[in-house]
Amino acid sequence: MLDLGFIRANPQLIREAAHQKGVVLDLERLLALDGERRGLLVQIEGMRAERNRRSQEIPGLKGGGRAQSIRDLRELGAELDSLEPALERVESELEGLLLQVPSPPHPDVPPGFDESANLLVRRWGELPAYDFAPADHLTLGERLGIIDVTRGVRLSGSRQYVLRGDGMLLERAVMNFALDRLLRKGFIPLSVPMLIRPEAMRGTGYFPGGEEQCYAIPRDDLFLIGTAEVPVTAYHAGEILDAADLPLRYAGFSGCFRREAGAAGRDTAGIYRVHQFYKVEQVVITRADPEASEREHELITANAEELLQALELPYRVVVVCAGEMGLGQVKKYDVETWMPSRNAYSETHSASMFYDFQARRLRLRYREAGGEVIHCHTLNNTAAASPRILIPLLEVHQEADGSVRIPVALRPYLDGRASIGP
């Protein structure tokens, strides 16, 4: 959510942001409601002041003057009673429109409406070359007995899987490796709820608009999270933090669930796009300073890159174009890891900068030393997400004999083993 004063002062910027992000927004209606609301507030506040003044005068009046003042006061109260519901209706409609206003993209963000417009920032690592016919991750997983899609589908339907034996241990190793790296950098670990109230979904910008991607528990008015970003960012909702404590850097761990609505026929083979997965998520809450946000954005992106380098996986970093960003994202990096079976770099990490978009929705603020209360800035990025990260781990590090080499950095998490064999 953006500051209403900012929207009022920059309508053309908001129109351009809506166009760039492909958002349908009735800005004229929003501005009209804003004017109506301000007019009603002035009228109501004036009438309330008049009511208070007359109420204080009545005890000193006598006779007909007192009776007339009481009648006038009742009429004033009746008029107020009619205006206050009108104000509530205007504020409710205005709130709904404010939730649809997109954040203007950062100047570094390229225009465009699909990934072909993304801007390459850098590449790292050499692409693997094989002197044998390489297998895809699903073939490798089945041969090694570590991925079982057939029984996963039998248990739970499409886009489900079972990691067994060394597959489950490899997933656990990557999650622990990612967490340990962030802990050494001073991030605070959080194990968070996976069932969340709708207020947290709205506060982080997933509602309205993302309902179709969420698994809902209507009986309890709860939703399964699609990322630990939601509960971690909402962890301090409604609080006023101390500026001296910022930035707060959290490493949230959770299971994640996505319906993948609209993804029919896309990435159906293997474990690239699934309904259930695990993530270690970086979340940063910092001061309302664009330069501070940009420093944190680079830091959390570097953390993801360092992890991939330690796992010896080639990757590239792109700035995501405006049309591929979410409503609240000001700037977004995608870190894409090389997946031989796809013959492409594919997204494994996304680093998003929001400025105060989420904090305004969450009423997440901090107090400066001088007493001023300001909305925070928030950011997030994946540290590791499984099973997707297992795809390049298996495919890039496969050997001619059908085994998979374990990167040196990961071996302490797998009892020192150098490979996973048939």
Contact (CB, 8 A) for 181 and 306: yes
320 CA to centre of own chain: 15
* Predicted pLDDT at 60: 66
Segment holding 307, helix H or strand E: helix 290-310
d(CA 96, CA 413): 48
Q: Quick one: fold of 4-98?
A: Helix Hairpins (1.10.287)
* Mean of pLDDT values over 182-195: 98
Residue 249 dihedral angles phi and psi, to the nearest 5°:
-120, 120
Return the sign of the alpha-carbon dihedral for residues 259, 263, 269, 271.
negative
* Predicted pLDDT at 238: 98
> Per the structure block, which two tokens stand in for 240?
């006023």
On the question of pLDDT at 104 being above 90, the answer is: yes
Residue 25 dihedral angles phi and psi, to the nearest 5°:
-140, 125
- Work out the pLDDT band at 74, boundaries 50, 70, 90: confident
Q: Which residue has the tokens 């796809």?
A: 342
Helix (H, G, I), strand (E, B) or coil at 211: helix
Active site residues: 258, 273, 347, 350, 388
On the question of pLDDT at 183 being above 80, the answer is: yes
Residue 252, classified by CB atoms within 10 Å of its CB into exposed (0-12), middle (13-18) or buried (19+), is buried
pLDDT tens-place string over residues 27-62: 999 999 999 999 999 998 887 777 777 676 667 666
Q: Quick one: fold of 115-420?
A: BirA Bifunctional Protein; domain 2 (3.30.930)
In the chain, what are the domain boundaries? 4-98, 115-420
* Predicted pLDDT at 276: 97
On the question of pLDDT at 66 being above 80, the answer is: no
pLDDT tens-place string over residues 248-307: 999 999 999 999 987 766 777 899 999 999 999 999 999 999 999 999 999 999 999 999
Q: How many CB atoms lie within 10 A of CB 35?
A: 12
Q: How many CB atoms lie within 10 A of CB 90?
A: 20
d(CA 340, CA 319): 23
Q: How many CB atoms lie within 10 A of CB 260?
A: 17
* Predicted pLDDT at 350: 97
Instruction: Of 220, 208, 217, 224, give the one whose Cα is nearest residue 257.
Output: 224
